[in-house]
A and B are shown apart, each in its own frame.
Chain A
Amino acid sequence: MTMTADAPKKDDPAATSGDTILSLNNVEVVFNDVILVLRGMSLNARRGQITALLGANGAGKSTTLKAIAGLLRTEDGEITRGTVSYNDKDITRMAADRKVRDGIFLVMEGRGIVQDMTIRENLRLGAFTRKDADIEAEIAEVYKFFPRLQERKGLAGYLSGGEQQMLAIGRAMMAKPKLIMMDEPSMGLSPLLVKEVFGIIRRLNEELGISILLVEQNANMALKVADYGYIMENGKIVLDGTGAELVENEDVKEFYLGGGERRSFRNVKSFRRRKRWL
């Protein structure tokens, strides 16, 4: 992080793209007082950029996002060490609803749609923190982004997986956030829809100027849209670099991109022991 004398002030709308909007500093998360899941997690997400966070199943990606959003308490988890800061302000122990008000919005893994509500009601919920909002106009705005949502009637639970993902993103737009965190938006979608979703993520970033922290299993697509990427293993970051750097990295190629030179299954299995990233 570069901090020059005339670094932009907190929450300054004219804050320059590229400075840090969110940073995790050595964060440790414990569930049920005993299960240590994040072990010194650090990362920076930059304003106006897309930051990708990749890692195997169980690495702690979702836990990281929930820790940032302040949603650990419902799962009996807590941040026991380290700090989370947003716009250079410590928000480690801030209540979840305050964070949404301040512009941090999490689209949870599995989309988090309220299935027994209609599409409109879900969208209205997105604007819950914004009392003064012109809800109707903004719903129309979201429909412009996702014409398919407007055509669908009935309960949100009957939408297809792709439509539910669109709804989840549309609902996030209703909150007018400055930073959207997305947990595996491509999960369970057909290749065509995955492309569409990534296209939308790019548009959110480019057209609406929303900073994005993107958690993905689909490393290939994620690194293509991301300005910067982090790779985590076992509760901490093991590798980071620009999207382009990571795509070229041998380890990333081998374990996340499915490419690279072919190695035997034995070698792949011994990967944890090799610890090349540490």
Chain B
Amino acid sequence: MNTSLLLQLLVNGVIVGMLYGIVAMCFVLIYKSTQVVNFAQGEFVVLGAWVCLSLVVSMGLPFWLAFLFSLVFMMVFGILVQVILLRPLVGEPVISVIMATIGLSIFMQATMNWIFGNNAVRFPQVFDQATVSIGGLNVETAYLMSLVLSLVVMGMFFWFFQYSRWGLAMRATAWNQQIAQSLGISVGRVFAMAWAISAVVSGIAGVVIGLVSAVSNSLAIIGIKVFPAVIVGGLDSIVGAIIGGLTIGILENLAEFVDGQYLQIGNMYSVAPFYVLLIILMIKPYGLFGTPDIERV
């Protein structure tokens, strides 16, 4: 057995899994606090990557500055989507809201195709060193940055929901909008904030993925890939989303290993997560981490 390849793939799995995890978190955040299933999640990720890339390439901004600007852009974009597209749909049937986000996804795909083109584009050299050595292991700097940023984002999510005023407000709104309003929380602002945070974090994920591989519209597939992660995690649990993301990331890479070394079927990499999803849903229809409601009056 090729142990070093296995190890390499496991490390990949964890790093990619963390990215799936934070994208899944974005999805769950919007679902939980605004009851909207965001089918444009993948496009949000790609948009962040494109904006950052074009700031670097066409405007010649230093990477970190471009990164920062692209996050500001994503924040504004998220708020605009909520205010313009979704606010008028509050109280409409779920299917209308779903159609709206599917429409948004198609619209964003087409627009990005038009503006940024159809090809994959690589970031120019961003880091001085392509790899850093940690304890004898050579790790790609982009991977390291991906890992660090994922952890930072997760830590910030945790802090935000546990300790900040608006984080509490968001949780209260997720629990019951009328109760939240009765406490003086502006539900409209909470909704806008949920979309803003989700868009910014999606943007971070997009830039990181763009650094690791390349930026292209097909990256939006991550929006579909996080579905297994989200559903494994139970749709309404943020911790579940992270664990779901890690599970999917590791599974993908294990499938790649088994396939490449033994089975030689090809493409196991991309289907395995969905098989696992089906099996989990058969056993636990509410996902592994779906929180049971407290039954007490």
Q: Which A residues are closer than 8 A to B by beta carbons? A: 69-71, 74-76, 95-97, 99-101, 105-106, 108, 110, 112, 114-117, 121, 124-126, 128-129, 131, 155, 157-158, 161, 171, 175, 188
Contacts and interface: CB of A to CB of B under 8 A. Distances in A.
Contacts of A110: 297
A100 B183 contact: yes
Given A131-B165, A155-B294, A161-B297, A71 B182 contact: yes
B91 A128 contact: no
Nearest to B182: A106
Contact of B175 (A71, A74, A116, A124): A116
A114 B171 contact: yes
A249 to B, nearest CB: 33
Contacts of B183: 100, 125-126, 128-129, 171, 175
A117 B171 contact: yes
Given A69-B182, A128-B169, A158-B294, 14 more contacts: A74-B181, A96-B181, A99-B184, A100-B182, A100-B183, A101-B184, A106-B182, A115-B175, A117-B168, A117-B172, A125-B169, A128-B165, A128-B168, A161-B297
Given A96-B181, A125-B169, A114 B296 contact: no
Contacts of B182: 69, 71, 96, 100, 105-106, 108, 112
Interface in B131-167: 165
A128 B184 contact: yes
B297 A95 contact: no
B175 A128 contact: no
B108 interface: no
A146 B265 CA distance: 66
Interface residues of B, number: 21
Nearest to B165: A128
Given A106-B182, A108-B179, A125 B168 contact: yes
Nearest to A104: B184
Nearest to B178: A74
Interface string B169-189: 101100111110111111000
B175 A114 contact: yes
B291 interface: yes
Given A76-B91, A128-B168, A128-B169, A97 B179 contact: no
19 contacts: A70-B181, A71-B178, A74-B181, A76-B91, A99-B184, A112-B176, A112-B179, A112-B182, A114-B171, A115-B175, A117-B171, A121-B168, A124-B168, A125-B168, A129-B184, A157-B294, A158-B294, A161-B297, A175-B184
Interface string B183-219: 1111000000000000000000000000000000000
Contact of B296 (A71, A105, A128, A157): A157
Interface of B: 91, 165, 168-169, 171-172, 175-179, 181-186, 291, 294, 296-297
A108 B178 contact: yes
10 cross-chain pairs, A with B, having the tightest CB-CB distances, nearest first: A100-B184, A157-B294, A129-B184, A112-B179, A96-B181, A97-B186, A74-B178, A114-B175, A97-B184, A115-B294
B167 to A, nearest CB: 10
A100 B183 CA distance: 7
A69 B296 CA distance: 26
B182 to A, nearest CB: 5
A188 to B, nearest CB: 7
B172 A125 contact: yes
Given A114-B171, A117-B171, A97 B165 contact: no
B294 A74 contact: no
B192 to A, nearest CB: 14
Nearest to B173: A114
A200 B183 CA distance: 20
A157 to B, nearest CB: 3
A1 to B, nearest CB: 27
B177 A74 contact: yes
Contacts of B186: 95, 97
Nearest to A160: B296
Contacts of A116: 171, 175, 291, 294
A89 to B, nearest CB: 18
A105 B182 CA distance: 7
Nearest to A157: B294
> Which of A75, A121, A131 has the most CB atoms of chain B within a 10 A radius of its CB?
A121
A136 to B, nearest CB: 13
A97 B185 contact: yes
Contact of B179 (A114, A121, A175): A114
Nearest to A171: B183
Contacts of A95: 186
Contacts of A157: 294, 296
A135 to B, nearest CB: 9
A188 B296 CA distance: 12
Contacts of A114: 171-172, 175-176, 179
